């Protein structure tokens, strides 16, 4: 990232930067994506992004496509062969079958070695585990999805390829975006 002040202009502006130039070569207007998507405190932008763009722009995000499974509260989303509950009140009125994307921050997903009846989660299989010292990096194929996901786990967790796993998700941390 490069901050641009009135006294410093980058030799080549970043691709996402649109500027108007004075005759002296100073930028008087810098816009990201030609519009302000969200202006708030950093933790609010990270935890409560107003758009998919903002969520993808700040931090890492696990994005999965699915569809609304039934109507009424709580909102349930089918992802692959799994169904999870989502407490995203902004999109609670979507009709059953609507195509959606759910997104959740990786740190809000817990990898569990077995399902617990109280958990809201996606089941899958561990494809690969890489020990990286301070954590395990796990490639996981969620049941019914073709694309695997990459998540971190505690380095002391016992995980191996072909283990059945649950990606437990706090329903309040999942964002729901209509497609």
Per residue in 139-160, pLDDT (tens digit) is 999 999 999 999 999 999 999 9
Give pLDDT, residue 133: 92
Q: pLDDT-derived band of residue 34, with 50, 70 and 90 as boundaries? A: low
pLDDT confidence of residue 90 = 67
Per-residue tokens: 179 = 């497609």
Determine the pLDDT at residue 150.
94
From 91, 99, 80, select the one nearest 149 (Cα to Cα).
80
More confident residue, 92 or 173: 173
Question: Mean pLDDT across the chain, nearest whole number?
Answer: 81
pTM: 0.74
């Amino acid at each position: 990232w490069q901050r641009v002040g009135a006294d410093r202009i980058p030799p080549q502006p970043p691709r996402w930067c649109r500027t108007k130039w004075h005759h002296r070569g100073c930028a008087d207007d810098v816009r990201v994506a030609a519009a302000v998507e969200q202006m708030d405190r950093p933790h609010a932008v990270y935890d409560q992004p107003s758009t998919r763009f903002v969520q993808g722009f700040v931090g890492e995000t696990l994005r999965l496509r699915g569809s609304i499974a039934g109507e009424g509260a709580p909102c349930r989303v089918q992802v692959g062969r799994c169904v999870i509950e989502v407490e995203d009140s902004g999109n609670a009125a979507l009709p059953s079958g609507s195509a959606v994307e759910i997104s959740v921050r990786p740190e809000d997903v817990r990898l569990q070695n077995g399902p617990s009846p109280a958990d809201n989660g996606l089941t899958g299989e561990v494809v690969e585990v890489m020990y990286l010292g301070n954590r395990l990096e796990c490639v996981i194929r969620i049941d019914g999805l073709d694309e695997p996901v990459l998540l971190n786990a505690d380095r002391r967790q016992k995980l191996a390829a072909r283990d059945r796993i649950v990606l437990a998700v706090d329903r309040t941390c999942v964002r729901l975006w209509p497609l």
